A and B are shown apart, each in its own frame.
Chain A
Amino acid sequence: MSVQALHAPEVDAPPDARRIDVRGLCKTFQLAGTAIEAVRDVSFNVRRGEFVALLGPSGSGKSTVLNMIATLLKPTSGQILIDGVPVIHGRATPNVGYVFQRDTLFPWRTVADNIGYGLELAGVPVAERKDRVNACLKQAGLEGFGNAYPSALSGGMRQRAALMRTLVVEPQVLLMDEPFGALDTHTKIDMHDVLLRIWEREQQTVLFVTHDLGEALTLADRIILFSARPGRIKESFEVDFARPRNAVKIRETPRYAELFQLIWHSLGEEFIKGRKP
């Protein structure tokens, strides 16, 4: 396959296949009286069951885009539709789960109570809640830690617990803001495998923000590359590795190296542009 053919064709998915639809999104922050344009005219869509990574250097507005989709930030202009319905700032969209950059586990709740939190809010009966939490603990390799408090866990364990707190309510759309950014390389690759197994089984629609190209290649079906500030979409790449993927093995393939080199070049340009003079 030629390198040029890797560029994803800029054709939209048919409307009924679009889970996330972003149109003409702009965001300008007011900081100490100065207007800072963080995102300029971003449009893309994510198909049902697709895993898309938003990749870019820091300050490229990719997290801002994600947070607008998550209703945490209000767009300056533009439209965001999830399953065809516009999202409302400050109000959680049903069926959408969010995983934070740093884990926001409640320190006053045990790991099991943290994971069961969403079920508790929804009024799920205690017995059912317990079963589902136990299944999640098992899935995340946290058996035996249910009664521990988050402060007793390692960074990787905490992030797995945080992931399970989001997944326990079975969201159809998963928004992830550099969820593994604070972890060391090996823990990160472990987490990639955990996430890949879950995604292969549940087939959620995932929008994953990262500045780590290796991470984006390992996980995503498609990578949307953001430019340096103001954030715009620069390019989009299909990642055509077969599934199921193995987070360790995939990095050894020549194809990985080929894609890495290609995208790295484009990312590097933005990285240099984003540097302060």
Chain B
Amino acid sequence: MRRARHAGRTFAWQMLICICFLAIWQWGYALHDRLPWLVPDLLDPYFISRPSDIFEHFLILSCLKSKLGVFNGWFNGEFARCMARSENNLWIATAVTLKNTFFGFVTGVSSGFAAGLVLGRSDKLSAIFQPFITAVNSIPRIALAPIIVLAFGIGDTSKVVTSWIVVVFLVFFNTFEGARSIDEGFINAARLLGASEWQITRTVVIPSTMAWVFASLTPAISFALIGVIVGEFIGAERGIGRLIIESEARAEASGMMVAVVVLMLVGVALSALIWRLQAYLLRWQQHNLAE
């Protein structure tokens, strides 16, 4: 009861903050001439647009409205024509960026996880690879993006590779640490119950490394998205990053902001998916709280 009231109050505060934020964004600059000492120049809609313009631009970019400001309607064919006309409309751009993020994430997580497990469980291999890993890890991976685009072209492959390269190390290091810090007691227990090396890996090493891996997945999904967007900045025909570059070329702040808002929503949705998966796979950890 008390907790419910508390949650309600929290929500009310959150709403209030949102409304204030949006209101200042929308109308704050109107006060600039009268109160120049209070309202910074940066609030100029030329730079940061304003919520109503962003929404308007969202409708246009997503073919829900024509450029003249008329609602397209779903059934008169205008929507379909607009979709066909603009190669990089918001739907396609989002789908392309999401797809590349997904592949970058999946390949990065799986290869980082596998490498982390192998090196984490083998003192010999980790000793051999240690200096190389440290060296490569010291490179800001994003700096490789232009080279990757040069090598793999402006198609989707270069985005997946950029995304992969920023994700793989993150997951690798977490898995590696996790595999190093496994309680030897668990491994001995499994071995004495007759487990083979592969059974030990499957039933002890992987489950006990999971908590470490999951700790890296939420940042990994943001990193995957960053990798794709940077790749699209450098050279792409489609994608949200491309949308941002196009809007920037036309000095259209509202267009960039649409892209940013969409990226935010995509990021939140993907993180929520990870949290759900984590809550399921690591459900044994929840019970620690009940003790």
Interface residues of A (CB under 8 A from B): 70-72, 90, 92, 94, 96-98, 100, 102, 104, 106-110, 117-118, 120-122, 148-149, 151-152, 165-166, 169
Contacts and interface: CB of A to CB of B under 8 A. Distances in A.
B287 A121 contact: no
A66 to B, nearest CB: 12
A21 to B, nearest CB: 20
B137 interface: no
Given A106-B204, A152-B287, A121 B195 contact: yes
Contact of B189 (A71, A94, A104, A148): A104
B275 interface: no
B192 A117 contact: no
Q: How large is the interface on B (under 10, 10 to 19, 20 to 34, 35 or more residues)?
A: 20 to 34
Contact of B288 (A121, A148, A151): A151
B86 interface: no
B188 A107 contact: no
A147 B191 CA distance: 24
A166 B185 CA distance: 14
B189 A100 contact: yes
B262 interface: no
Contacts of A149: 284, 287
Contacts of A152: 287, 290-291
B193 A104 contact: no
B248 interface: no
A161 to B, nearest CB: 12
B207 interface: yes
Which 4 A-B pairs have CB atoms at the shortest separation, nearest pair first? A104-B189, A104-B185, A118-B193, A149-B287
B210 interface: yes
B291 A92 contact: no
A165 B193 contact: yes
Interface of B: 183, 185-186, 188-195, 199, 203-204, 207-208, 210, 282, 284-285, 287-288, 290-291
14 contacts: A70-B192, A72-B188, A72-B192, A92-B194, A100-B185, A100-B189, A104-B185, A106-B208, A120-B203, A121-B199, A151-B284, A165-B189, A165-B193, A166-B193
Contacts of A90: 191
A98 B285 CA distance: 26
A28 to B, nearest CB: 21
B193 A92 contact: yes
A92 B284 contact: no
Contacts of B191: 90, 92
B291 to A, nearest CB: 6
Contact of A98 (B192, B208, B210, B290): B192
A109 B186 CA distance: 12
Given A122-B194, A151-B291, A104 B183 contact: yes
B178 to A, nearest CB: 13
Given A107-B284, A108-B284, A151-B288, A102 B185 contact: yes
Given A104-B188, A107-B284, A169 B193 contact: yes
A172 B199 CA distance: 23
Contact of B192 (A97, A106, A108): A97
